[in-house]
Chain A
Amino acid sequence: MSAAALAAETATRLAAADARGLNAVLAWSEPLLKQQAALLDAAPAGPLSGMAVALKDNIVTTDQPTTCGSRLLEGYVSPFEATVVSRLRAAGGLVAGKTNLDEFAMGSSTEHSAYGRVLHPHHPELVPGGSSGGSAAIVAAGAVRAALGSETGGSVRQPAAFCGVVGIKPTYGRVSRFGLVAFGSSLDCISPFGATVADAAALLAAISGPDPRDATTLDLEPIRVPLPRADLRGMVIGVPQEYFPADLHSGVRAACDRAMSRLRDLGAELREVSLPHTRYAVPAYYVVNPAEAAANLARFDGVRYGQRRIGPEGDIRALYRATRGQGFGREVQRRILVGTFVLSAGYAEQYYHRAQAVRRRIIADFDAVFASGVDLLFTPTTPTPAFRAGEKTADPVTMYLADVFVCPASLAGIPAMSLPIGRDDGLPLGGQLMARSTDESTMISVAAALESVIDATAEVRA
């Protein structure tokens, strides 16, 4: 298919998603799609030719606004382009538009966007997950084959599971963050969604690799899309008992049982393992993450970019306070306040340093399991299927616990991914694979093998 034809088809599909009121895309334009297509059709084909890719609206481009889902950045257009965007364009990809997100990527339901909530693509009364809910929903709606999101504590895997698409978080440092609006600097990873494992893997391969503009990138060759595996003989897949609590949603459990049975059929050995500090991942995350968020979001002060408000006192401090007090939504304010608290004099030892110590234990748990001969870990991605809009917004802690199975890999910096493994009452369910640091290749090849033998649209409790 020519890029011109892809651009026309993408415009039709994005318009249809808008007409359904999905609210997944904040900015897209047909003239911009056509303009890109003309350039792509004049250039040699690349690995992403024929693929339209939507971008979470915290990844900057020079031709569309970047709002981060916040009023504070309304109208902001970046003067430079993110490395991932330059790379996906160079690989032949067509940038479809900018997707809705929880404000500054803080949330698990995409209900915390200043531009309204994103609807679940198949069940409008439900949330699509978050914070990359717009990217997940627009792939699941079939408007694009792939999208970029960002992960800080599961913000790609969790919505991938809720929407029934594939989401891959690479090893921390695999993908350049130049041009990603910073949130949690020791956690943030740009991460792809795909309709299939192959699509997500192709996008990850195209954007990965070191970048002189991001000193936190690993000095390793870009990821290659692994060859498909016919069977998994010799592969040991660990099943951590902490991810299968007695009160796990029965549909989620049934889907995992079926997926594990398929992995066994393919020749893998499944082995029960333990990651004893799993239950402390969410508490540790909600110290480390707000601390880093409070520091990163100090730059939004109403002086250099975005919107400004002048406070009643009329001086610069009043400007800071009014701009931030009125420009940030409630969840962003909560994180900034918690982050300020856990770093403040008298409390840093009790909270921040303790959370760092627990984070080290979580990393040690993973190291020990992988050192024991386990190649990969298999778990549910989420404890439940997608929940109803409004169900968890009143209590932030309930919302945070939706990320209990995705937080640990984020804290450890290891690769992890979610793929669809079945449906319960029509709701998509995700299975998670986690791998040792930089071993995306094994993880992706096993995911592709599992994908090929499982009907992810089938009910798991038929």
Chain B
Amino acid sequence: MTIDRGTVQHMARLAELAVTDADADALADQLDRIVRLVEQLTEVDGDAPSTDSAGVVVGPSRTPLREDVVAPIAMAHGPAEFAPAMQDGLFLVPRLGGMTDS
């Protein structure tokens, strides 16, 4: 697999990240090196598909259950203190016109 500018721009669109064409070229070169590094993983099992694709679980072997009660966390201040734009207790965003799949 070779990473080119087109792949970078496609991933950037999926990740909602603006990347200029000039940056995409430099990123393509670096990502290509990273992908070549991770392709060493094929040495372990060759091309055999993984028979067990379940996630690796570290930590507790099962998610503990707790009492089904609301336990609010005391807040030192509200979101108006850190949100870029708020009005009447709501986060302000620009128009949603671009929310269609490209």
Q: Which of A46-54, A106-114, A124-132, A317-325 contacts B (4 or more CB under 8 A)?
A: A317-325
The main secondary structure of chain A at its interface with chain B is: helix
A173 to B19, CA, bound (A): 36
Given contacts A283-B39, A316-B99, A333-B19, 5 further A-B pairs with CB under 8 A are: A215-B63, A218-B59, A287-B38, A333-B27, A337-B27
On chain A, the residues within 8 Å of B22 by CB distance are none
Q: Is the CB of A353 within 8 A of B60?
A: no
Q: Across the interface, which residues of A come within 8 angstroms of B2, CB to CB?
A: none
Which of B38, B63, B85 contacts A308, CB < 8 Å? B85
How far apart sit A78 and B81, CA to CA, in the bound complex (Å)? 9
Known: A325-B19, A334-B31. A282 touches B41 (CB 8 A): no
CB-contact partner of A280 in B34, B40, B81, under 8 A: B40
Give the number of residue pairs across the A-B interface with Cβ within 8 Å.
203
Please determine whether A186 and B44 come into contact, CB atoms closer than 8 angstroms: no
**Nearest-CB residue, chain A, relative to B52:** A357
Tell me the minimal C-beta distance from A304 to chain B in angstroms: 6
B66 touches A358 (CB 8 A): no
Partner of A342, one of B38, B75, B97: B38
Residue numbers in B under 8 Å from A339 (CB-CB): 15
Residues of A within 8 A of B (CB): 62, 75-81, 172-173, 186, 212-213, 215-219, 277, 279-280, 282-284, 286-287, 294, 298, 301-308, 310-311, 313-322, 324-326, 328, 333-334, 336-342, 344, 347, 349-351, 353-361, 363, 395-397, 400, 411-413
**A341, chain B: closest CB distance, angstroms:** 5
Q: Count chain B residues whose beta carbon lies closer than 8 angstroms to a beta carbon of A.
A: 61
Query: In the complex, A354→B41 CA distance in Å?
Result: 7
| Cα–Cα, bound, A336→B15 (Å) | 7
Q: Which of B14, B34, B39, B59 contacts A338 (CB 8 A)?
A: B34
